[in-house]
């Protein structure tokens, strides 16, 4: 082997170097924003997940409905759980079950899971989106900040009735 020539490469020109630095710093700032927001921001990705069987989850939902049902809306029970409690929502072809009635300013643990394919939980018009998978119970801590009626739609393709899969959350004062 030969000894390599001394100057392997010319150092970057001034323009190249400054651009490399700008690009690098920019990426650094973007990256640091992430953990910062995680601690300072008010809305973050939920962290709690349980593995469940579909039958287990179905049982939890039914027990939940039985205990707190207050009304029926187009054949689907309306459920008003006490503040601070566990709230169960089930996605299946092609409905959300049951309809939830929550109190403004109170915290709830919202459980999400599917009975069949994947679904997408999408709250309207606040625009909050979570993926819903069968056999996983995803728990989001939520505090409704405004009263009124919110829509829930499905935004993950789940078959031919995907676009009619809607429901609502009623938030009372």
Partner 1 sequence: MAVKSMTAADNAAAPVPVPLTEQDLAVADRIAGTSIFLGASALLIGVTLGVMQGLEHVGINLYKYVQPWVATYYHGLTMHGVLNALVWTTFFIVGFFTYAIVRSLNRPLRYPWLNVLGLLVMVIGLLTAAVPMLTNNASVLYTFYPPMKADWSCYLGLTLVVVGSWMAGWGYFFTLYAWRKEHPGQKQPFIALTVSITMAMWQLATLGVAAEILFLLLPWSLGLVQGTDPLLGRTLFWFFGHPLVYFWLLPAYVSWYAMLPAQTGGKLFSEQLARLVFWLFLLLSTPVGFHHQYTDPGIPQAWKFLHTTITFSLAFPSFLTAFTVVASLEVGARALGGKGYFGWIRKLNWGNPSYAAQNLAMILFVFGGIGGITNASFNLNLAVHNTIWIPGHFHLTVASASTLTFFGILYWLAPALTKRKLFAPKLALAQAWTWFIGMLLMGNALHLLGLHFGAPRRTMLGSAPYASPDWNPFLMESAVGVTFLAISATLLYIVLIGTLFNKKSDVEVKMPVAEPLNPSQSIPKWLDSWTPWVFGAVALVLVAYGPMLYQLIRDIELTSPGWRVW
User: In the complex with partner 1, which residue's Cβ is closer, 41 or 173?
Assistant: 41
Chain residues 58-117 in contact with partner 1, contact rule CB under 8 A? 93, 112, 116-117
Among 58, 69, 77, 136, binds partner 1 (CB under 8 A): 136
Structure tokens at 98: 């049951």
Closest distance to Cu ion from the beta carbon of 155 (Å): 7
Q: Which residues bind Cu ion (CB under 5 A)?
A: 154, 158, 162
Check binding of 134 to partner 1 (CB under 8 A): yes
**10 Å Cβ neighbour count for 79?**
23
In three-state secondary structure terms, 136 is strand
Q: Report the site for partner 1 in 137-156 (rule: CB under 8 A).
A: 137-138, 151, 153-156
**Among 62, 69, 85, 122, which residue sits at the site for partner 1 (rule: CB under 8 A)?**
122
CA distance 132 to 164: 17
Could you say which of 129, 145, 146, 172 contacts partner 1 (CB under 8 A)? 129
Integer Cα distance of 157 and 104 in angstroms: 31
CB of 145 to partner 1, least distance (A): 15
Phi and psi at residue 122, to the nearest 5°: -135, 120
């Amino acid at each position: 082997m030969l000894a390599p020539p001394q100057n392997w490469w010319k150092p970057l020109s001034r323009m190249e170097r400054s651009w490399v630095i700008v690009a690098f710093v920019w990426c650094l700032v973007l990256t640091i924003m992430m953990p910062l927001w995680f601690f300072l921001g008010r809305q973050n990705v939920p962290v709690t997940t349980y593995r469940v069987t579909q039958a287990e989850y179905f049982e939890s939902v039914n027990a939940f409905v039985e205990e707190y049902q207050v009304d029926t809306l187009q054949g689907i029970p309306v459920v008003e759980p006490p503040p601070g409690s566990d709230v169960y929502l089930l996605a299946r072809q092609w409905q959300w079950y049951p309809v939830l009635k929550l109190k403004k300013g109170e915290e709830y643990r919202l459980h999400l899971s599917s009975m069949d394919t994947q679904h997408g939980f999408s709250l309207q018009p606040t625009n909050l989106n979570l993926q819903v998978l069968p056999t996983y119970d995803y728990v989001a801590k939520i505090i409704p900040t405004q009263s009124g009626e919110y829509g829930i739609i499905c935004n993950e393709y789940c078959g031919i009735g995907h676009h009619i899969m809607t429901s609502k959350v009623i938030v009372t004062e």
